Amino acid sequence: MAAKKLEAKILLLDFDLPGDAGGELIDRMRTISNVHMTMVTARSDEATAIARLAAGADDIMAKPFTRREVVARMQAILRRACPGPQCCTDRLHVHDMQGRRVFGALS
């Protein structure tokens, strides 16, 4: 069975990965995609946040946060990214890197 291809509109990435994996991931993604990337972190280091934004992240979210805040931010991004009825923000679905639905259809 072929894997289902998901076309992401937004990537929500944890930049508290081992080493500099978060920074490396931003660099790799920017070579292949212009998708919106929001980085999440438990750090309060301004220099690291600025470096991630300069590297290509579009937003930084500090942990802890609620699922409602994540959904609200994603809906706001989608409203700006693709205005009009083709971009139904009331049908937001969130998947992990393996394509498994984490949560969906929240508003």
DSSP string, 91-106: GEEEE-TTS-EEEEEE
**What per-residue confidence (pLDDT) applies to 88?**
56
**What per-residue confidence (pLDDT) applies to 40?**
87
Q: For residues 19 and 34, what is the distance between their CA atoms, to the nearest angstrom?
A: 24
pTM of the entire predicted model? 0.70
Low-confidence spans in the chain with pLDDT less than 50 = 1-4, 106-107
79-88 residue pLDDT tens:
877 766 565 5
Q: For residues 38 and 60, what is the distance between their CA atoms, to the nearest angstrom?
A: 6
